[in-house]
Amino acid sequence: MKTAPIRLQKFLADAGIASRRSAEKLIAEGRIEVNGRKVMVTGSKVDPAVDRVKVDGRPVAAKKRTYIALHKPRGYLCSRADPEDRRIASELLPKEWAHLYPVGRLDLESEGLILFTNDGDFCLRMTHPRYAVTKVYMATVRGAMDASILRRITAGIQHDGELLKALKARTLASGNSTSLVEVVLGEGKNREVRRLFESQGLEVIRLVRMQIGKIRLAQLPAGKWRTLTDTEVKTLISPP
């Protein structure tokens, strides 16, 4: 008996092949076959129970959805591979989870919470600006922190053609040499926290992501991981 047809890019995302956006690119590149025929039209539908789907000639089967929280240490990249052979965050996960991909990014020198999954829809909801999933960072900044700086970065700053903006920012500790600042983002553009402070002439010497949505880093040690509970996943994908 047939199940309800779904869009091909959703099928690929559910199978853990790629996010929906990346799946659309695979389709446009002619790398997808359905029942032996190449499909290059995004929005085409398939029946997961009946249709045979291949990517680059390899069969695709739906996979159990997996959601992992990892405490990324400094010096690890959040990518699937690196031509410079630097350390990859996914190497800290068990080998059977090598197919999982990072949800968003933390730059090489940043630390803290990052999620891994094979659920393309989940990845989209965590990273697309329209869903505005909040992320909380602790930034150690060189020098004393002035309240006017926090007002400017929460008002919004144009930097390299982009509007950078923190939803909230507060000083937790401040001295002559360093300050500890909590920053909350609603989008998370590339290196946004660092760029916000750089625009004010300040250097971030340590950056730790403490929270994504309601998921906290808590006491998870650096380099260690844990699976998310069903309840935690629901809190991330449910409207606020």
The residues annotated as belonging to the active site are 107
Please list the residues that pair with 141 across neighbouring strands.
Answer: 179, 204
Q: Which residues contact 184 (CB under 8 A, 6 or more apart)?
A: 134, 135, 136, 137, 166, 167, 168, 169
- Sheet with 58-59, edge to edge strand ranges: 37-38, 32-34, 53-55, 58-59
Tell me, what DSSP letter sits at residue 130? G
d(CA 198, CA 202): 5
Helix 120-127 with 20-28: angle, nearest 10 deg? 120
Report yes or no: 88 and 82 within 8 Å, Cβ to Cβ: yes
